[in-house]
């Protein structure tokens, strides 16, 4: 390596020339790597699988009762009965789509982000160094659809317990977070251990 000001030979990584004293450029900072995107996701409507299953059972029972026992002779009665059966399904679909459009998750090599809202927006972020524990919860229906909730226990003041709900492949996402938490911790100095 040559000096930028004089023809002197320099050792690799030298900050200054020993002959003329000229600065050779910024030294690379050890341990400071640029933040890279790792994973991004949204709320999955499949997380509403248990509600959809309950509505199917409700609709089947209501249909059976309508044909077997209830005298629905007039047209307006059929419309009211059909509306009463379909109204919960509409509520489930609207709620699932609202969450799908309004909740976003993003993991980088340094932080995890939770973005909420459509018209107004709230963005929360947690440094991966603050994550203390991770877990995944899934009910039976969520296991069938491979969705679930990743729970982060943190030392963050605003989000001591961050729940990432409706995540596709939650175990894989938890492992990605865990891997990057360990990487961040291995590159920092722990003052408590000194």
Name 155's Cβ contacts closer than 8 Å, sequence gap at least 6: 130, 132
Q: Reply yes or no on whether the pLDDT at 148 is more than 80.
A: yes
pLDDT-derived band of residue 26, with 50, 70 and 90 as boundaries? low
**pLDDT tens by residue, 55-75:** 999 988 888 887 777 777 777
Q: Is the pTM of this model over 0.75?
A: no
Q: Which of 189, 114, 116, 186 is nearest to 152 (CA)?
A: 114
**pLDDT tens by residue, 34-61:** 889 999 999 999 999 999 999 999 988 8
Q: Which of 81, 30, 22, 51 is nearest to 142 (CA)?
A: 51
d(CA 4, CA 26): 13
Q: Is 46 exposed, middle or buried (0-12, 13-18, 19+ CB in 10 A)?
A: middle
Q: What is the pLDDT of residue 187?
A: 75
């Amino acid at each position: 390596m040559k000096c930028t000001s004089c023809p002197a030979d320099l050792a690799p990584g030298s900050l200054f020339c020993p002959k003329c004293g000229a600065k050779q450029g910024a030294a690379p900072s050890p341990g400071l790597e640029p933040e890279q995107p790792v994973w991004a996701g949204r709320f999955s409507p499949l997380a509403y699988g248990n509600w959809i299953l309950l509505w199917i059972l409700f609709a089947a029972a209501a249909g059976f009762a309508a044909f077997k026992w209830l005298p629905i002779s007039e047209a307006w009665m059929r419309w009211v009965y059909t509306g009463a059966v379909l109204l919960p399904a509409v509520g489930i679909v609207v709620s699932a789509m609202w969450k799908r459009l309004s909740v976003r998750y993003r993991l980088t090599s340094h932080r995890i982000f939770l973005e909420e809202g459509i018209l107004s927006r709230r963005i929360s972020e947690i440094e991966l160094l603050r994550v203390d524990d991770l877990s995944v919860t899934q009910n039976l229906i969520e296991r069938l659809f491979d969705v679930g909730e990743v729970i982060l226990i943190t030392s963050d003041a605003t989000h001591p317990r961050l729940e990432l709900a409706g995540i596709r492949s939650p175990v894989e996402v938890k492992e990605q977070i865990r891997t990057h938490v360990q990487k961040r911790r291995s590159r920092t100095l722990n003052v408590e251990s000194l």
